[in-house]
Amino acid sequence: MKPKVVVTHDLKFPVLDELKEHAEVVELKKEYPLQGEELVKSVAEADGVICLLTDKFTKEVIEKLSNVKIISTVSAGYDHIDIEEATKKGIYVFNAADPLTISVAEFAFALMLSVARRVVEGDKLIREGNWKSGWSLTFMLGRELRGKTLGIVGLGKIGKEIAKRARCFGMNVIYYSRTRKLEFEEEYNLKFKDLSSVLSEADFLVLSVALTPETKKMISKREISLMKKDAFLINISRGAVVDEEALIEALKNKVISGAALDVFQNEPLSKSSELVKLENVVLTPHIASATFEARRGMAEQAVKNMLYALRGTINEECLVNKEVKKVRTLSKMI
């Protein structure tokens, strides 16, 4: 009998053909995120699940999944899956990070330039018919990236690509991460610092750290207060890494110069959020990886991870919970 794989959403790219040859593939094509009992019921019979980052595999959901052996997410982040519980249950969790790394790193610069050069403000000004003065020497002045200090928090795949690109802009790069990366530091001329120093020295602070229990609200009132008055905060990681209330207060009181945010505590961000009213903020709807290149690659990678796993082999680079190997051996199903 073929193993069963449930795909929670329409993957939008034709990536399932090979998987369909080997497994019974059930495409739910849900138009909304799955959670709770509905998620349990939808995937309970499956050997493997291909999901999106909007599907909430909480502890309670995972506890009820006695048949599922593999979860392959079409995302880099895996904070929507209770990894500890999945590991305990012997469920192998794979992510699809590589294909989106460049798109997200490039987007970090789109955000930095947008907020520092007031791109969105300028666009709005014209659309609202408020461009009255023509060209003038001091109209809508912003700041260059050149010569500025870029502070990266979380030097993983995306953080490294941001650091590489920062050199082309003539930026000095400092970083804080859980582990120091000496070789990379040497090759790309980066400096490792503790978090407080990165916060207080950066002109542009980019958050590219994973969301974990340790990094939740890692940037709160105290941390923001350490930043320079003319610094910009760029968040392309996860909303919960920042204490959003504290950030709003800081922006209102001009504790920092501005922020560019792709991710939020609650998504979609409500129109009534205070952030929407602030001028010194650029907001984008979680689209840092939204390129044709990245999204196709992510779907392909997630399916590839599933095929490998069904064959009893492990794509180590994408295995999120390495500890699971001690709990259960992955058996060959195809």
What are the catalytic residues? 238, 267, 286
Selection from 153, 218, 164 nearest residue 192 by Cα: 153
> 74 or 309, CB closer to ligand NAP?
74
Q: Determine which residue in the list 39, 155, 302, 330 makes contact with ligand NAP, applying CB under 6 A.
A: 155
Handedness of CA 148, 204, 78, 27 (dihedral sign): negative
What residues from 251 to 270 belong to the interface with ligand NAP (CB under 6 A)? 262-263
- Residue 296's contacts (CB-CB under 8 Å, 6 or more residues apart) are 13, 15, 99
Shortest separation between residue 127's beta carbon and ligand NAP, angstroms: 26
What residues from 166 to 185 belong to the interface with ligand NAP (CB under 6 A)? 177-179
Name the CA radius of gyration of the chain, rounded: 22
Could you identify the residue written with the tokens 């390129």? 291
Q: Determine which residue in the list 158, 166, 255, 318 makes contact with ligand NAP, applying CB under 6 A.
A: 158
- Residue 39's contacts (CB-CB under 8 Å, 6 or more residues apart) are 8, 55, 56, 57, 61
Q: Determine which residue in the list 87, 149, 237, 301 makes contact with ligand NAP, applying CB under 6 A.
A: 237
The verdict on 211 binding ligand NAP (CB under 6 A) reads yes
The verdict on 208 binding ligand NAP (CB under 6 A) reads yes
Q: Determine which residue in the list 48, 151, 159, 297 makes contact with ligand NAP, applying CB under 6 A.
A: 159
Q: Which residue pairs, CB below 8 angstroms and at least 24 apart, start in 23-29?
A: 23/47, 23/48, 23/306, 23/310, 23/333, 23/334
Note the residues at the interface with ligand NAP (CB under 6 A). 76-77, 97, 100-101, 104, 154-159, 177-179, 208-212, 214-215, 236-238, 262-263, 286, 288-289
